[in-house]
A and B are shown apart, each in its own frame.
Chain A
Amino acid sequence: MTQYIYLTVLLPFLGFLINGIFGSRIKNEKIIGIIGSGTIGLSFLVAVGAFIQTLGLPVENRKTIVTLFNWIQVGGLNVNVAYQVDQLSLVMALIVTGVGFIIHVYSIGYMHGDKSFWRFFSYLNLFIFAMMNLILGDNFVLLFLGWEGVGLCSYLLIGFWYDRKFEKGTTGDAAKKAFIVNRIGDFGFLLGMFLIFMTFGSLNFSEVFSRAATFNIPVSVFNFIALFLFIGATGKSAQIPLYIWLPDAMAGPTPVSALIHAATMVTAGVYMVARCSIIFASAPSIMILIAIVGALTALFAASIGLVQNDIKKVLAYSTVSQLGYMFLALGVGAFTAGIFHVMTHAFFKALLFLGAGSVIHSMHDEQDIQHYGGLKKYMPRTAMTFLIAALAISGIPPLSGFFSKDDILWNAFANGGFILWLIGAVTALLTAFYMFRLYFLTFEGKARFGHDKHPHESPALMTIPLMVLAVLSAIGGFIGIPALFSGEGGNRFENWLEPVFKSASFKVATEGIYSSFDEILLMVLTVAGAALAIYFARYIYLKNPQFALNTSRKFKGLYNLLLNKYFVDEFYNAAVVTPILKSSDNFLWRIADVKIIDGVVNGTASLIESISGKIRKMQTGVTQVYAVVMMLGIVIALFWIILSL
């Protein structure tokens, strides 16, 4: 089955083609949905098969490369279309196809009745195609192909309802923002790729990484490569300073937010850093930078999420914050912890988004949580699954979020120092707080909506995926139980992924002097803090709503700052966007284009016109004038002959 791993890439592409070309003619939504979800389901089965097969291989042989054909062969550059099946790509493949399949099934119910139903599914399949290329490719070029492809699909899907208004512009503006900001990151990624080729002479993962481990290359080169690659990651995975597109991406349909902006695309940056672990590990100062950026992003985004009133916005900032956690893990050298959090985050964040979609769907596109309240009795299943997801993200044991978040925090403390752990811990408290604010305001308490809304439970096509994800969120963490608890085997997840990061972990400072007592202490601290935060949220939003209002009035400046997202978008607009637009308008258009280029072209034409206007006067029409000219020519010829005699 490993040999057929390319099917996971090919099947979604087929689905994209079929739905894209024939979709508008197939009037039956069920068929489109079956084609769209079926391809992903089959891909998932192929991935599971490859996984089982790889489990049977001995640990050293677990990397298989399936080459399809030779793509580029120019000079020293030799790039194949080949897919690498190893532990890391299998984990990612299972997550992408598994969660992707669930979300596809959910979308059949959510997008019911939409006039472009077929277009949605063809775009979703195209996205899975690109994402699989990204995570399965065995060289940087194929990864970049997938990188750009998911950016494109993100644009297409965010702007899916292209004729809808969104905040101050249209959904098209949000889609463009996502694409353009991603592009800025991609430029950094490209520079990193160029440097890699220059330094190592190849773009193939195996060759580059083995050379990186053995060759003697100065640290400054590694620093630059790692820095550029990380810039690409900040664009794709929404870290400071390029996170601004993610909240605006909520303009798209909710399944899009769940699939792309929670579970898969935004984790591409994390995957890339993990895949290039040896390069990052060889650049210690950049690792520190990554950890700091991750931690700060986590705190920053969590603080904004505290006061947002749109249900999807809260979840968007929560995503940015959790991504910060993943980068924090990568930055301190805990690569497996970062990937572990990718997996658990995919489960509970997709569940949160799908649950939010269920609420939005039944409240007829109302997204302001100030108009929700008491929905538990109308939508019991949605409420129950949402609660499970909220508990998971807050890090309450024994749900999955607890294990992954704790893994990260422990590694941050042991390898990164106290400050990083503190930032992470405070963010965990804030996460619990705002998540349960969201839960209580939406599902508990008194109903704050008018009589025109009739909330109801969503159809089975939407609630069954919710329940599947809830089960995964609950028990998914047991795969990564820390060595503390599981005894002889150690952390199963970590053991599985360890060979991939072996060469990198040699270069990273490992935990040394801390004992297991410290680990348990920290665990207890964070869980207790989270529980306190939940209780506090319950107190404010259920029992004493006036308290929230009073606090917001007393700290009006701070409240405004948080509500307006620290005015980052406005700052970017003024500092970057407007000057570029103005200079392009004034200089590039008015002067360069109109005066210079048009001037040259039109000027040439008018020059020729004036010259020919003068030359045409030579044609008098009188034959004798022509004869005179001919005789003149003869005279000149005779002169020539005479002079040469």
Chain B
Amino acid sequence: MPVPIEYYLVLSAFMFFTGVAGVLTRRNAIVVFMSVELMLNSANLSLVTFSSYLGNPAGQLFVFFVMTVAAAEAAVGLAIIIALFRNKLTMNIDEINILKW
């Protein structure tokens, strides 16, 4: 018997939870970024699951574009981190608090 769809979806949710915990907890900016990528991938998994079980390629096309955007975002985000590191010489997010009251 094929795998019930709920299993894939729960796995996707678990990966999402992991990503959220990483974003909220870690101090290193690059690790936070990687957690964001993890969250994106969990969404991708859901999309592909539904596309496969419904037989509709639209979901996979969506995943295609999500990957494109994630790549672009990663590039720009890392460039920002480099620029930030040059000014502040730190990679810890909680030391970048210029907007503090």
Residues of chain B from 68 to 90 with CB closer than 8 A to chain A in the complex: none
B23, A621: Cβ atoms closer than 8 Å: no
A624, CB-defined interface residue at 8 Å: yes
Q: Give the interface size class of chain A.
A: 10 to 19
Q: How far is the CB of A335 from chain B (nearest CB, A)?
A: 82
B101, A616: Cβ atoms closer than 8 Å: yes
| Neighbouring B residues of A627 by C-beta, 8 Å | 23-24
- B2-44 vs A: 1/0 string, CB under 8 Å? 0000000000000000001001110000001000000000000
B20, A621: Cβ atoms closer than 8 Å: no
Max chain B C-beta neighbours (<10 A), residue from A618, A619, A621, A631: A621
Complex CA distance for A631 and B101, rounded to whole angstroms: 22
Q: How far is the CB of A504 from chain B (nearest CB, A)?
A: 82
Answer whether A617 and B101 are a contact pair too, CB < 8 Å, given A624-B23, A628-B24, A631-B24. Answer: yes
B100, A620: Cβ atoms closer than 8 Å: yes
Interface of A is mostly: helix
Binds A, one of B46-54, B56-64, B91-99: B91-99
| Neighbouring B residues of A622 by C-beta, 8 Å | 93-94, 96-97, 100
A516, CB-defined interface residue at 8 Å: no
A619, B24: Cβ atoms closer than 8 Å: no
Q: Give the interface size class of chain B.
A: 10 to 19
Complex CA distance for A623 and B20, rounded to whole angstroms: 14
Q: Which A residue sits closest to B21, measured CB to CB? A: A631
A621, B24: Cβ atoms closer than 8 Å: no
Complex CA distance for A621 and B23, rounded to whole angstroms: 16
Q: Which A residue sits closest to B95, measured CB to CB? A: A622
Complex CA distance for A350 and B67, rounded to whole angstroms: 106
| Neighbouring A residues of B25 by C-beta, 8 Å | 624
Q: How far is the CB of B59 from chain A (nearest CB, A)?
A: 22
Q: Which B residue sits closest to A626, measured CB to CB? A: B99
A619, B93: Cβ atoms closer than 8 Å: no
Q: How far is the CB of A642 from chain B (nearest CB, A)?
A: 14
Answer whether A621 and B99 are a contact pair too, CB < 8 Å, given A627-B23, A627-B24, A631-B24. Answer: yes
Complex CA distance for A509 and B23, rounded to whole angstroms: 106
| Neighbouring A residues of B97 by C-beta, 8 Å | 620-622
Q: Which A residue sits closest to B29, measured CB to CB? A: A623
Complex CA distance for A620 and B101, rounded to whole angstroms: 7
Q: Which A residue sits closest to B26, measured CB to CB? A: A624
Q: Which A residue sits closest to B23, measured CB to CB? A: A627
| Neighbouring A residues of B20 by C-beta, 8 Å | 631
Residues of chain A from 373 to 421 with CB closer than 8 A to chain B in the complex: none
Max chain B C-beta neighbours (<10 A), residue from A624, A627, A628: A624
Complex CA distance for A624 and B28, rounded to whole angstroms: 11
| Neighbouring B residues of A620 by C-beta, 8 Å | 97, 100-101
B100, A624: Cβ atoms closer than 8 Å: no
B96, A619: Cβ atoms closer than 8 Å: no
Q: Which A residue sits closest to B100, measured CB to CB? A: A621
Max chain B C-beta neighbours (<10 A), residue from A618, A620, A623: A623
| Neighbouring A residues of B24 by C-beta, 8 Å | 624, 627-628, 631
Complex CA distance for A623 and B96, rounded to whole angstroms: 8
- A289-323 vs B: 1/0 string, CB under 8 Å? 00000000000000000000000000000000000
Q: Which B residue sits closest to A623, measured CB to CB? A: B93
Complex CA distance for A621 and B101, rounded to whole angstroms: 7
Q: Which B residue sits closest to A616, measured CB to CB? A: B101
Q: Which B residue sits closest to A634, measured CB to CB? A: B20
A619, B94: Cβ atoms closer than 8 Å: no
A621, B93: Cβ atoms closer than 8 Å: no
Q: How far is the CB of A638 from chain B (nearest CB, A)?
A: 11
A619, B23: Cβ atoms closer than 8 Å: no
Answer whether A624 and B94 are a contact pair too, CB < 8 Å, given A631-B20, A631-B24. Answer: yes
Q: How far is the CB of A632 from chain B (nearest CB, A)?
A: 10
Residues of chain A from 507 to 535 with CB closer than 8 A to chain B in the complex: none
Q: How far is the CB of B70 from chain A (nearest CB, A)?
A: 18
| Neighbouring B residues of A623 by C-beta, 8 Å | 93, 96
| Neighbouring A residues of B96 by C-beta, 8 Å | 621-623
Residues of chain A from 97 to 150 with CB closer than 8 A to chain B in the complex: none
Partner of A624, one of B93, B98, B101: B93
Complex CA distance for A631 and B21, rounded to whole angstroms: 10
Residues of chain A from 580 to 621 with CB closer than 8 A to chain B in the complex: 616-621
Residues of chain A from 49 to 90 with CB closer than 8 A to chain B in the complex: none
Q: Which B residue sits closest to A619, measured CB to CB? A: B101
Q: Which A residue sits closest to B27, measured CB to CB? A: A624
Complex CA distance for A184 and B93, rounded to whole angstroms: 76
| Neighbouring B residues of A618 by C-beta, 8 Å | 101
- A239-251 vs B: 1/0 string, CB under 8 Å? 0000000000000
Complex CA distance for A631 and B96, rounded to whole angstroms: 21
Complex CA distance for A620 and B93, rounded to whole angstroms: 12
Q: How far is the CB of B11 from chain A (nearest CB, A)?
A: 19
Complex CA distance for A621 and B93, rounded to whole angstroms: 10
Complex CA distance for A377 and B94, rounded to whole angstroms: 107
Q: How far is the CB of A629 from chain B (nearest CB, A)?
A: 10
Given A622-B97, A623-B93, 7 further pairs, Cβ under 8 A: A619-B99, A619-B100, A619-B101, A621-B100, A622-B100, A624-B24, A628-B24
Sample of 9 A–B contacts (CB below 8 Å):
A618-B101, A621-B96, A621-B99, A622-B93, A622-B97, A622-B100, A627-B23, A627-B24, A628-B24
Residues of B within 8 A of A (CB): 20, 23-25, 32, 93-94, 96-101
6 nearest CB pairs, A to B: A621-B97, A621-B100, A616-B101, A621-B99, A619-B101, A622-B94
